[in-house]
Chain A
Amino acid sequence: MSEMIANLSLGFGVALSFQNIALCFVGCLVGTLIGVLPGVGPIATIAILLPITFGLDPTGALIMLAGIYYGAQYGGSTTAILVNIPGEATAVVTTLDGHQMAKQGRAGVALGTAALGSFFAGCVATVVIAALGAPLTKLALLFGPAEYFSLMVMGLCFAVVLARGSILKAFCMIMLGLLLSTVGTDLETGQERMTFGFPPLADGIDFAVMAMGVFGFAEVLRNLESPESRDVVRTKIGRLLPNWADIKQSIKPVLRGTVIGGTLGILPGNGAVLGPFASYTVEKKLAKDPSRFGKGAIEGVAGPESANNAGAQTAFIPLLTLGIPPNAVMALMVGAMTIHGIIPGPQVMTRNPDLFWGMIASMWLGNLMLLIINLPLIGLWVKLLQVPYRLMFPAILIFCCIGIYSVNNQPVDVAFTALFGLFGYILIKLGFEPAPMLLGFVLGRLMEEKLRQALIISRGSFYTFIDYEARPISLVLLIVAVAVLVIALLPSIAKKRDEVFTE
């Protein structure tokens, strides 16, 4: 304990230097801005800003780059709530209730709840990293391919619960998402699948392309069709900050979301994307009246937003303690460290204690700064809703296109986004929801990869997933998955039975 305090005081000593405070602020501000711009993600931004950091000392550079990353997670909820566009996979869930709240004139409350929830989650996660970072690394190493596959199965069962309407339609959308995720080069054999010999498809469909299409472009098309629904959002503004009743309603979801998101964030291979989905499922299941979800329930914003931010922070654990990046943004941070002459690895903590603890301390500062940056901005964001839509939609489209292009520097991606936009519009017309499809898409690729890895290692034996001696975690996760599915399906079965009885 005294060691931790000594370490943290070293960390704050580093983070509180004038230069590092300034860099942390710049990082958080840039992060918030790119989070708000639909499509421009932290990966492209960090890659672009990397050369600018060459002149800085490594700790300051990494403090700034880290600020961009978690700042973007903060800002990403803004577009999800205001214009129904998730900038990141982790913000998909926020669109469900967040945008509904905006339509009811509660955009300010939704934004405020997201900011406060994220702040709380970020602070808790930072303490967890400082106190338990090293021991928690073991958790990342407990998850082999089999455990990971079972976790993904559990995640897909959650997706069914996400459905606002028909479970059958949600199920179809998950399957479609899974199918779309198999487009591209087969990982094991190098064969191209469902690419029709078209080279841009060789690496599969990009998440950003699909999300901007089915959410961003499709939403624009729908709004242009019925201008009156936009006017509802424009005329109702309401309160800017959550009141005591809102906060009381959010406390428990925030606490639960922090635990769920923080735990999943430690896992390698983008486990953090599951956090918000899992949190949303839990809140919907625990709610007294689950039917409020999807219609602007504040818990549906508070829980997932906290989970999202907690996961964004704990994702630093495998990077800092193991030197192995758990996702693409962290891989870029590894590159940044290397370019600055710091070799990421298990020894960073002992070799570069000022960097390690300085970064952790700066994350706490960063969370505070994000709150200070974001709360006053809420008024401004909400005013944006009053901009006439004929001025707003071209801006949204242009930013989406810039963002999409910046992901891979491929012009074809922009064309694909337009196609997905049309597809998304058709889905809306037919009453299918895009969120389960996106979840299926995100999880599908991981799931296939992990399934095949697990089966290759086990020489084709499916027993590996339920081997309670060697892989108890996998078994437990599968049991939870079945339980979630049964609970989700029971009400509809019960209803059907009632119908039978009334006849």
Chain B
Amino acid sequence: MKKLTLGLAAAITLALSGAAQAQAYPTRPVTMIVPFAAGGPTDIIARIVGEHMSKTLGQQIVVENVAGAGGTTGIARAMTSAPDGYTIAMGHLGTLSAAPSLYPGLKYDPIAGVQHIGLAGGTPILIVARTDFPPKDLKEFVAYAKANVDKVNQAHSGVGSVAWTTCTLLKGQLGLEKMNAVAYRGSAPALNDLVAKQVDFMCDQIPSVFPQVQANTIKAYAIASAERSPALPDVPTTKEAGLPEFQIEAWNGIVAPKGLPADVTAKLVDALDKALKDPATQKRLLDIGTVIPSATDRTPAGFAALIKRDADTLGPILAAAPK
């Protein structure tokens, strides 16, 4: 009996202290782990959104870049840390939807094993080609690629990258699995060789390709989103250009370790929501071609559903893809 009372007392004390801590949350800076090197698309979105979230939370969000293993090292570190709201992470399509099909020993379950905070930004994917590549539009491209599957060279930024994942989906849908894929260490060198006409085409995120498309150093066939991008209003969607099944968007969203107290989750969800409603933050995101997530997608449930939907789309194709 005495033991039980002691246990109860301890539990109550713990619960109380927990509540007291949560009420004060955040009392110190919050670390947001970005699983890639500073300067990339995920890092930029994290810094833009994090800056406004810091204002709402009243504590600085400090971005920590922990790169490695396609971003899974950083997410794994964040997801195995204490669920106190002081360590959160900025995940993306690759680390949350594609990673379970690519990394058998993954240390986190992005659907059931994490606390979702919300989607921070969507990044449209474009199919781009060297300027003197023969096909003029997407229909011609599909026909040309099918007829010349043994001659066309596709560039990507490494197995597991967004450029690789999305193009593997495209090739899977068109039955072009055998096509030559040239791997680069990151998006910049791949783009460099596309501008230099060393390779034929690639799929990549809008922030890195649209300045080149605007300057006519590469050409764009289509954008794989539901709507055209204000950054490139002349580029048709895959629906308009005759390949409606190729719809995929790279996205970034915030996740926290499982077991986060409900009020801490609510504070983070609210801070993200306020950041995405702020006109100045919106403008900065739109300027780099990012799509502001809808009100449902930026909720934890909406974000979790998105992760699952893309994991279901990509899973079978990634599992079957030649690596």
A residues near B (Cβ < 8 Å) are 43, 46-47, 50-51, 54, 140-145, 185, 187-191, 199-200, 202-203, 268-269, 318, 322-326, 328, 331-336, 338-339, 341, 343-347, 408-410, 449, 452-453, 456-457, 459
A10 to chain B, nearest CB (A): 22
Known: A51-B47, A203-B69, A410-B66. A343 touches B37 (CB 8 A): no
| Cβ of B59 under 8 Å from chain A | no
B90 to chain A, nearest CB (A): 14
Residues of A within 8 A of B83 (CB): none
Cβ–Cβ contact A331 & B40, under 8 A: yes
Residue from B102, B160, B193, B207 whose CB has the most chain A CB atoms within 10 Å = B193
Cβ–Cβ contact A335 & B43, under 8 A: yes
| Cβ of B183 under 8 Å from chain A | yes
Cβ–Cβ contact A199 & B73, under 8 A: yes
The answer, among B39, B67, B195, B212, for a CB contact under 8 Å with A335, is B39
A189 to B164, CA, bound (A): 11
Cβ–Cβ contact B212 & A323, under 8 A: yes
Cβ–Cβ contact B68 & A46, under 8 A: no
Chain A residue with Cβ nearest B283: A341
A185 to B183, CA, bound (A): 12
A444 to chain B, nearest CB (A): 13
Cβ–Cβ contact B40 & A142, under 8 A: no
Residues of B within 8 A of A51 (CB): 47, 51, 62-63
Known: A343-B287, A449-B185. A203 touches B38 (CB 8 A): no
A182 to B43, CA, bound (A): 28
A186 to B44, CA, bound (A): 27
Known: A144-B193, A322-B195. A335 touches B44 (CB 8 A): yes
Cβ–Cβ contact B69 & A144, under 8 A: no
| Cβ of B64 under 8 Å from chain A | yes
Residues of A within 8 A of B284 (CB): 339, 341
A200 to B67, CA, bound (A): 11
Residues of A within 8 A of B48 (CB): 339
A334 to B189, CA, bound (A): 14
17 CB contacts below 8 A, A to B, read A51-B47, A187-B185, A200-B68, A202-B69, A203-B73, A268-B189, A318-B192, A325-B39, A331-B188, A332-B39, A341-B287, A347-B214, A409-B64, A453-B182, A456-B153, A456-B182, A457-B153
Cβ–Cβ contact B212 & A202, under 8 A: no
Chain B residue with Cβ nearest A332: B39
A177 to B323, CA, bound (A): 27
Residues of B within 8 A of A408 (CB): 66-68
Q: How many A-B contacts if CB must be within 8 Å?
A: 143
| Cβ of B184 under 8 Å from chain A | yes
Cβ–Cβ contact A346 & B215, under 8 A: yes
The answer, among A326, A338, A457, for a CB contact under 8 Å with B288, is A338
Chain A residue with Cβ nearest B217: A346
A403 to chain B, nearest CB (A): 16
Residues of B within 8 A of A326 (CB): 188
The answer, among A185, A269, A324, for a CB contact under 8 Å with B69, is A185
Known: A189-B159, A457-B182. A268 touches B192 (CB 8 A): yes
Residues of B within 8 A of A324 (CB): 188, 191-192, 195
The answer, among A145, A199, A335, A457, for a CB contact under 8 Å with B40, is A335
Cβ–Cβ contact B68 & A410, under 8 A: yes
Cβ–Cβ contact B47 & A343, under 8 A: no
- Other A-B pairs, 7, CB within 8 Å; known A339-B44, A410-B66, A449-B184: A43-B37, A190-B160, A203-B68, A331-B39, A335-B44, A346-B217, A456-B181
Residues of B within 8 A of A410 (CB): 66, 68
A339 to B37, CA, bound (A): 15
Known: A346-B212, A457-B153. A338 touches B37 (CB 8 A): no
| Cβ of B65 under 8 Å from chain A | yes
